[in-house]
A and B are shown apart, each in its own frame.
Chain A
Amino acid sequence: MFGLLRRAAPDQFPGGLKLDSHKLSADQARIQLAPVPSRVILPLSQHIGAPAQLKVEVGQRVLRGQTVATADGYVSAPIHASTSGRVVSIGPQPVPHPSGLSAPAIVIEADGLDEAPSAPEWVAQPDYRSLDRAELRQRVRQAGIVGLGGAAFPSAVKLNPGGGDAVDTLILNGAECEPYISCDQALMAERAADIVAGAELIRYAIQARDCIIGVEDNKPEGIAALRAALRERESRAIEVRVVPTRYPQGGEKQLVQTLTGREVPSEGLPLDIGIVVHNVGTAIAVWQALTRAEPLISRVVTVTGNGIAKPANLEVRIGTPVAELIAHCGGYAGPRGRLIMGGPMMGFALSCDTVPVVKATNCILVAAPEDVRPVEPAKACIRCGECAEVCPAGLLPQQLYWHARGREFEKAQALNLFDCIECGCCAQVCPSHIPLVQYYRYAKTGIFQAEQERRKSDIARTRHEFRQGRLEREKQEKEAARQRKRESLQQREAAPASPAPAAKPAGNDAIAQAIAKAKLEKARRLARDTEDSATDPVAAAIARAKAKKAAQDERPITQAADDPVADAIALAKARKAEQNPLADDPAAAAIARAKANKAAQRSTAEDPATQAIARALARKAARADSDAKPAGDDDPVAAAIARAKARKAARNSDPDA
């Protein structure tokens, strides 16, 4: 019932909480320029989308603003060196991430010169209206600008809302609802002119009719400065609208609802209802990129909390280690409680202070030990419904919790789990101290993982099916080739007056000798295969097939078959003759070889089984022969042959070892 009443209020999102702001005083909030750090660590993935592609090498000198990694794909952003220096390492570094894991990063040792290239990578264009919109987007993309409110979505993508009148309203988000964080507040108070100029630029880029800058009512200085800037620039299309201070007012969907009364559809984007939302800091970055050709190499970060000596808003080079910021702010005030990147509601704990500031870092919160509430053990849910009351997305936190806890992720998804913005209101009000948001995150990443696995198994299935298909095709091709050969052989046999077989090698004809030798070798190889596979019927079949093939390769045989065993003996003799380098009589050797050749031919033409036996015998004989063969004779040719044979034998025996 209270929920209905709350929802009935005009221009307000449902739920939400009134939190203590803990913002810096106006004096503290003034933006200070942090010194250029001694080294910068630039993770390749500082944005939503594909990690940037490396463009530099270790040892290379880079200048301030130089592109060190380029965007990889449409939803990606390049990374620029935030100061001049030398690349000292490229590899995994601790990065700010809730997992505490390392990720690839470029480490640059600053040389202190902070030297910029003589010419920027693109030309500054103060009159942005002379630029084509695509060109404008291209420059925003080149400048590596991402949403600076915390989500780090590549801004160039959001500047391309599609053709025509897709967008009617541009909203600049200056709500900054989370406690402690005051970087946007400082920007609005000090750089209102740039925000307004950036707003005009973005409005031109996306062809939006209206532009609203939404600011929470606890930032009067920012509101005044923005209004003054609007008057000065006579920007009539832009309006500053004050919204009530209520967490999570700065949530994109919540701010849209407050300012326009329109609700972003489930799992949709503001673009679906003709609205584009950018952070005020992003507007400044876009303005600077276009008019001053400055890539995104610095941002304003709030360093605050009870655990820091001198809280401040610092303009920091991207990649500065958190420890250097803390040192600049006077170091830790006493023992450190907890180091949080982001705000107390949506931020995450850092495992160490060596991690760098990235494009998404809006706040470093150093909690004092007394600020860190001990984690109370979760008690049972009492179904009080408080969580549903405060949920700004109008979800059913209790149901989501039950499903997440029971690992029924599909059911949680069916209850619009992905509309949860993880604001933490539900966990904040839970009287049983149930870590609700952690359950939702657990469920969300669990669903992502399952999806990833499904994708991977789909790929594996396709690859496996492709492989099966390929093997099948290869088999058929082989079969077809065999068929062709068989047919051609039959044709040749059938053909009358086929040319007479070549004359038997006579005397010391070298060519004939070589042919004979090659044939002998072949026969021997076949025999060996047969012998090796004597126990395996499949292998035997393969051997038979090979033998048949060899038979097809031979010229047609006219001689009548003799006893195969005799053939084998002839073969063995030939081998002996060949190997025995007595070779004093080349003619005799050739005759022996010719005999062997004949035998081999004959044997191939016969029944495969007897063939196999014959070959096995021949092989055995040959082997015994080669074993017994005396080495170190003076015929170099024979020695070389022996060496080659030894090598072959070694190679053949290798895979079986």
Chain B
Amino acid sequence: MLTAILAFGGLAAGFGIALGAAAVRFKVEGDPLVDQIDALLPQTQCGQCSYPGCRPYAEAIAGGEAEINQCPPGGEDGIIALAELLGREVVPLNPENGTAAETPLVAIIDEAACIGCTLCIQACPVDAILGANKLMHTVIEAECTGCELCVPPCPVDCIDMVPVTSSIQNWTWPEPGTPAQAA
């Protein structure tokens, strides 16, 4: 009897310590689901989803506060990917959040018109605008996510959103059977 109690007591204590140690040792920092959702979002950081960036939106989705159809830059593909990850129904993009852009855009500053006010630099969520007070600003095209957040603050309206130019590097073969077919 005593042996049994001791044995089981010992086992219970042993497992308890092991589990406790494991909980400390392998503690999961944050919600892994948020990371997974965040990885699927386009990281435009445009705020069209009504959250201040992609990660807050991911957190809202994971917390059940937001729908998966609030990200216009992610488009339909993004919604499908989120639906697959979360096991939800695919829903059309919520028009309240905007419409998906036909082509990816990039901001261009008309450098002759720029007065160097730095307002766009403060607005850019990814630090893709270079410049200083009273000096001309320019967009680092490769880093621009096309979020359009720099457009409204510009006091002289010198920022334009233009479609990303297609080059040999980013050219893709068209889907066979489409009129754009090259070969």
Q: Is the CB of A101 within 8 A of B167?
A: yes
Chain B residues with Cβ below 8 Å from A445 are 171-173
Q: Which of the residues A45, A463, A654 comes within 8 Å of B168, measured between beta carbons?
A: A45
Q: Is the CB of B168 within 8 A of A460?
A: no
CB distance from B133 to the nearest CB of A (A): 12
Interface positions, chain B 160-177, Cβ under 8 Å from A, are 166-168, 170-177
Interface positions, chain A 76-129, Cβ under 8 Å from B, are 95, 97-101, 103
Q: Is the CB of A464 within 8 A of B45?
A: yes
Determine chain A's interface SS by DSSP, over half rule.
helix
What is the CA–CA distance of A441 and B168 in the complex, to the nearest angstrom? Answer: 15
Tell me whether B38 is interfacial, beta carbon within 8 Å.
yes
Which of the four size classes fits the interface of chain B? 20 to 34
Chain B residues with Cβ below 8 Å from A448 are 172
Q: Which of the residues B42, B155, B172 comes within 8 Å of A446, measured between beta carbons?
A: B172
Q: Which of the residues B44, B117, B173 comes within 8 Å of A442, measured between beta carbons?
A: B173
Chain A residues with Cβ below 8 Å from B44 are 457, 460
Name the residue on A nearest B42 (C-beta).
A457
Name the residue on A nearest B155 (C-beta).
A655
Report the stretch among B9-17, B85-93, B123-131 that lies at the interface.
B123-131
Interface size on A, residues (CB 8 A): 38
Q: Which of the residues B119, B143, B168, B172 comes within 8 Å of A449, measured between beta carbons?
A: B172
What is the CA–CA distance of A101 and B55 in the complex, to the nearest angstrom? Answer: 37
Q: Is the CB of A464 within 8 A of B171?
A: no
Chain A residues with Cβ below 8 Å from B182 are 98-100, 349
Determine chain B's interface SS by DSSP, over half rule.
loop
Contact with A along B31-66 (1 / 0, CB 8 A): 000000010011111000000011100000000000
Q: Is the CB of A457 within 8 A of B171?
A: no
Chain A residues with Cβ below 8 Å from B55 are 461, 464-465
CB distance from A466 to the nearest CB of B (A): 7
Q: Which of the residues B143, B173, B176 comes within 8 Å of A459, measured between beta carbons?
A: B143
Chain B residues with Cβ below 8 Å from A452 are 170
CB distance from A405 to the nearest CB of B (A): 8
CB distance from B86 to the nearest CB of A (A): 18
What is the CA–CA distance of A463 and B127 in the complex, to the nearest angstrom? Answer: 7
Chain A residues with Cβ below 8 Å from B138 are none
Chain B residues with Cβ below 8 Å from A458 are 43
Interface positions, chain A 441-475, Cβ under 8 Å from B, are 441-442, 444-446, 448-449, 452-453, 456-461, 463-468
Interface positions, chain A 424-456, Cβ under 8 Å from B, are 435, 438-439, 441-442, 444-446, 448-449, 452-453, 456
| B-to-A contact residues, CB < 8 Å | 38, 41-45, 53-55, 117, 119, 125-128, 143, 145, 155, 166-168, 170-177, 181-183
| A-to-B contact residues, CB < 8 Å | 45, 95, 97-101, 103, 348-349, 378, 435, 438-439, 441-442, 444-446, 448-449, 452-453, 456-461, 463-468, 654-655, 657
